[in-house]
Amino acid sequence: MLTSLLMAVSYRVHVMTVPGADPERDRMVKTFVGSAGGACVHEDPDRNGIMWNWRRALACAAEDGTDWSVISSDDAEPLPGWERHLPRALGFSPRPLLGPLHFGYLGRRVAEEGYAYSVGTGFLWGGIIAYRTAVLPDLIEYTRRFLEIDPEYPHDDVIAGCFADRFHGKPAMTARAIFDHIPVKSLVGHPSHEGEMRRPSLTIREVGPPWNTPGFARGAAWLGGDRAKAIVDKLGLQSGNCCQPWTAAGRPLCDGPLGPRGGKQRCISRPGLACSAPPPQR
């Protein structure tokens, strides 16, 4: 666990890995473990799969007792200065689920608008995602119900994004990526992270809007697809904007009678906030 001296934000990094699968991946794990705050490593030597390991990491992270939990794959590369930037990016994040890594030109466009963050559907990428630790128990329950409907569903980042869309006013992403992807062969058949559209256009190597810049941009990245939308609809939680482009500001943060546990909905990111209230504006 690390509590930043620059800002009173505590976090722990969790790294999911298949040990020995690739020397570069093993090197990334060692980088996280050797950082000031260390890392909790979740090994999957038998290759049970991303979803299996992600759920283990979520359960472990829910017990962290930190403000934030950062769950990374072993192909996410911490960029120089990440330990200085990450706590500030977490501390000023406009949403409790944050993507500190992105693809293509998304980040540069946000920075050109003068913002440090953007909020919208599809802004979480499985390479690395930061979660307010307080939301993890509900995300764990949401994931359980999601996978009861489709046990073979493979995309952890889509599940997290659907959860954020539905209960937390959509996820956020950083304009400047704090992490990059190493260009190694995917272990699950995804395209290699090579070329400008598979890497972030703007990173903390460059100057950008400070993390405490007021406000945020709005937009949308990739969509979860019909398979995810069908699952969300079957959950009976009113899919909202999940797996669809964002709509205008002012959509209720909690716009349904039931939360994922079946009781009266709670707004975990804003304790005590009435469920009819709009999402926080900055």
Q: What is residue 223's predicted lDDT score, i.e. its pLDDT?
A: 65
Contact in structure between 122 and 245 (CB atoms under 8 Å)? no
Residue 268 has pLDDT above 50, yes or no: no
Residue with tokens 């349904």: 256
Q: How far is Cα 128 from Cα 157, in angstroms, rounded to an integer?
A: 9
Q: What is residue 142's predicted lDDT score, i.e. its pLDDT?
A: 94
pLDDT digits over 204-236, tens only? 999 999 999 999 999 887 666 788 888 888 886
Q: How far is Cα 62 from Cα 247, in angstroms, rounded to an integer?
A: 31
Q: What is residue 254's predicted lDDT score, i.e. its pLDDT?
A: 33
How far is residue 74 from each of residues 11, 22, 50, 112, 241, measured CA to CA in Å?
Answer: 18, 10, 11, 30, 30
Region 175-183 average pLDDT: 91
Region 8-30 average pLDDT: 92
Least confident of 70-84, 165-179, 266-280: 266-280
* pTM, 2 dp: 0.80
Instruction: Kindly write down the DSSP assignment for every residue of 164-203, as one continuous string.
Output: HHHHSSS-EEESSBSEEE-----SSSPPPS-SGGGSBSSB
Average pLDDT, the chain: 80
pLDDT digits over 99-132, tens only? 999 888 889 999 999 999 999 998 999 899 999 9
Q: What is residue 280's predicted lDDT score, i.e. its pLDDT?
A: 36
More confident of the two residues 155 and 253: 155
Confidence of residue 181 (pLDDT cuts 50, 70, 90): confident
Q: What is residue 234's predicted lDDT score, i.e. its pLDDT?
A: 85
More confident of the two residues 225 and 64: 64
Percent of the chain with pLDDT over 90: 60
Region 170-174 average pLDDT: 96
Look at the domain 2-235 and name its fold: Spore Coat Polysaccharide Biosynthesis Protein SpsA; Chain A (3.90.550)
Determine how many CB atoms are found less than 10 A away from the CB of residue 184.
Answer: 17
Q: What is residue 182's predicted lDDT score, i.e. its pLDDT?
A: 86
Confidence of residue 21 (pLDDT cuts 50, 70, 90): confident
Least confident of 93-97, 103-107, 112-116, 244-248: 244-248
Q: What is residue 207's predicted lDDT score, i.e. its pLDDT?
A: 94
Residues 6+ apart with CB under 8 A from 48: none
Task: For the chain, give every domain's residue range.
Answer: 2-235
Q: What is residue 89's predicted lDDT score, i.e. its pLDDT?
A: 98
Contact in structure between 104 and 205 (CB atoms under 8 Å)? no
Q: What is residue 44's predicted lDDT score, i.e. its pLDDT?
A: 93
